[in-house]
Amino acid sequence: MPEVFDVLVVGAGPGGSNAAAAALDAGLTVAQVERYAFPRVKPCAGGLTNRAQLSLSADLRPVVQRVFRGFEFNVFGRRVNRYSHPRPLLTTVHRPDFDNLLVARNVTSPHFRFYHEERLVNVAWNREFVVQTDKRELRARQLVGADGAYSVVNKAFRIAAPRGFATAIEVTVDCDDRERLPCFDFGAVPRGYGWVFPKDGCCTVGLYTLSRNLKDLRSRLPAYARARNLPDAATPPRMYAYQFPYGGYRLRCPDVPVYLVGDAGGFGDALTGEGIYHALESGRLAGQTAADVAAGRGSHRRYYRRLWQSVLPDTFATYHLAAGFYQDVDRAIKWLERPFVWRPFVQGYADGATFAQCVFKGAWFLARSARATRRPAP
């Protein structure tokens, strides 16, 4: 008879590993199943905001690449705006190193089992969760679905229905420009942007779009990289494309203790494509709620209410704002250039606030933002 774990986590991205860490910290037994061999290749810009780091259960320092106190929000080819703050605003990492760090932290616990390179075949509930992989059967009292954009767990229990899927494509190129800031070039592609995130000795360069009709992203990416003075991307050795679900704020609370986190629920920022914060925070809440349920302190339904305190307001707001923003990015950036708009957002991001908090507490952040600056580039 298989061992019955307190919590079983499907997926070893940031959300799944953060959920496992929170459950382990509460003394629960945890198993985690991952489809790919670790350390895995994971395409991602690798930018962590301060709010993401506040949700993180591990020490990030071993995998930090660069720390930035400024960034650019541009209209590609027309407007350049550099925003800065005395405190850090963004930290870059390599996603494979970051994901592996979180798993390695959990592996040190005697209450943790990690099964990687195992494909999920079936998941069902019969007084407990029965999860079958292509190698074994696992059982658990509670289940965390952190298995990405096309979540098997979500399909089994029908919890979330993301409103859309963005497409992103990226490549890593050699670059040792220490003066380069992370940048978002809105309008580099229809209904999207291009990005450059500097790291030690290299940059992650990519394109992000909400459009479902663009079929030539792979040919557009080298041209964008050249425009950003990164000619080595003209003949990249490997490009990675992936889907980013967003607008997953309409949730059906399941009857059994299953928690959907991160991309599995579509808890992403449709405006900027940020997903790491939403994964880490929803994972943290899932692990803490699982610990409460195991201790007899409430129901799993509390998790889906807790999401509305942090993750889902951002998911809701950015979904509805994205359509108008990308319809006319030049007008949107001009609006963002107004001090009563950019100052509370820069200050809020320095403080680790969510997007919704920056909106609803705008006056508070505006009053504290005297040291934040904006400088149009020449």
Q: Examine residue 324 and state whether it is found in any structural domain, yes or no.
A: no
Please tell me whether residues 80 and 153 are part of one structural domain: yes
pTM: 0.95
Q: Examine residue 137 and state whether it is found in any structural domain, yes or no.
A: yes
Q: Examine residue 279 and state whether it is found in any structural domain, yes or no.
A: yes
- 49 bridge partner residues: 90
Q: What is the pLDDT of residue 42?
A: 79
Q: Examine residue 321 and state whether it is found in any structural domain, yes or no.
A: no
What are the structure tokens assigned to 367, written together? 């009053």
- Report the candidate in 266, 265, 303 with the shortest Cα–Cα distance to residue 7: 303
The whole-angstrom separation of Cα 90 and Cα 50 is 7
Please tell me whether residues 302 and 272 are part of one structural domain: yes
Please tell me whether residues 80 and 198 are part of one structural domain: yes
Q: Tally Cβ neighbours within 10 Å of residue 252.
A: 11
Please tell me whether residues 48 and 158 are part of one structural domain: yes
Query: Which of 293, 316, 339 corresponds to the end of one domain?
Result: 316
Q: Examine residue 264 and state whether it is found in any structural domain, yes or no.
A: yes
- 30 bridge partner residues: 7, 112
Instruction: Please give the chain's pLDDT, 378 residues, in tens.
Output: 568 999 999 999 999 999 999 999 999 999 999 999 888 887 788 999 999 999 998 899 999 999 999 999 999 999 899 999 999 999 999 999 999 999 999 999 999 999 999 999 999 999 999 999 999 999 999 999 999 999 999 999 999 999 999 999 999 998 888 889 999 999 999 999 999 999 999 999 999 999 988 888 989 999 999 999 886 655 556 778 889 999 999 999 999 999 999 999 999 999 999 999 999 999 999 999 999 999 999 999 999 999 999 999 999 999 999 999 999 999 999 999 999 999 999 999 999 999 999 999 999 999 999 999 998 866
Domain extent, residue 364, equals 330-376
Q: Examine residue 323 and state whether it is found in any structural domain, yes or no.
A: no
Q: In the chain, how many domains are there?
A: 2
Q: What is the pLDDT of residue 375?
A: 86
Contact assessment for residue 17 and residue 283, using Cβ atoms and an 8 Å cutoff: yes
- In the chain, what is the greatest distance between 2 CA atoms, to the nearest angstrom? 69
Distance of CA 132 to the CA centre of its chain: 27
The whole-angstrom separation of Cα 324 and Cα 81 is 20
Please tell me whether residues 82 and 204 are part of one structural domain: yes
Q: Give the DSSP H/E element, type plus range, for residue 85.
A: none
Q: Examine residue 27 and state whether it is found in any structural domain, yes or no.
A: yes
Please tell me whether residues 279 and 357 are part of one structural domain: no
Please tell me whether residues 372 and 267 are part of one structural domain: no
Q: What is the pLDDT of residue 240?
A: 85
Q: Examine residue 322 and state whether it is found in any structural domain, yes or no.
A: no
Please tell me whether residues 137 and 84 are part of one structural domain: yes
Please tell me whether residues 139 and 197 are part of one structural domain: yes
Please tell me whether residues 100 and 62 are part of one structural domain: yes
The whole-angstrom separation of Cα 163 and Cα 290 is 27
Please tell me whether residues 355 and 311 are part of one structural domain: no
At 260, which CATH number?
3.50.50.60
The whole-angstrom separation of Cα 212 and Cα 202 is 30
Q: What is the pLDDT of residue 178?
A: 85
As separate numbers, helices (DSSP H) first and strands (DSSP E) second, the chain gives 12, 18
Please tell me whether residues 96 and 237 are part of one structural domain: yes
